[in-house]
Amino acid sequence: MGKHGKQVPCGMCRGTGKISTTDDGKSRDIPCTGCGGTGRQG
């Protein structure tokens, strides 16, 4: 938990829990590595 005791949206995925990656020229979504796919930090 953060200093305030509330969760904030993950900055890497903007709260979606997924990030887009390009694999062999194809775009696909993978679980965000910054928040572990939860979409939240803290």
pLDDT at 1: 47
Higher-pLDDT residue of 42 and 37 is: 37
Average pLDDT, integer, range 30-38? 95
* Number of other residues whose CB lies within 10 A of the CB of residue 35: 21
pLDDT at 7: 79
Q: What residue segments make up the domains of the chain, in order of their start?
A: 1-19+31-42
What does pTM read for this prediction? Answer: 0.65
Higher-pLDDT residue of 6 and 19 is: 19
C-alpha distances (whole Å) from 35 to each of 4, 17, 21, 26, 42 are 18, 7, 16, 23, 9
Per residue in 11-29, pLDDT (tens digit) is: 999 999 999 999 999 999 9
pLDDT at 4: 61
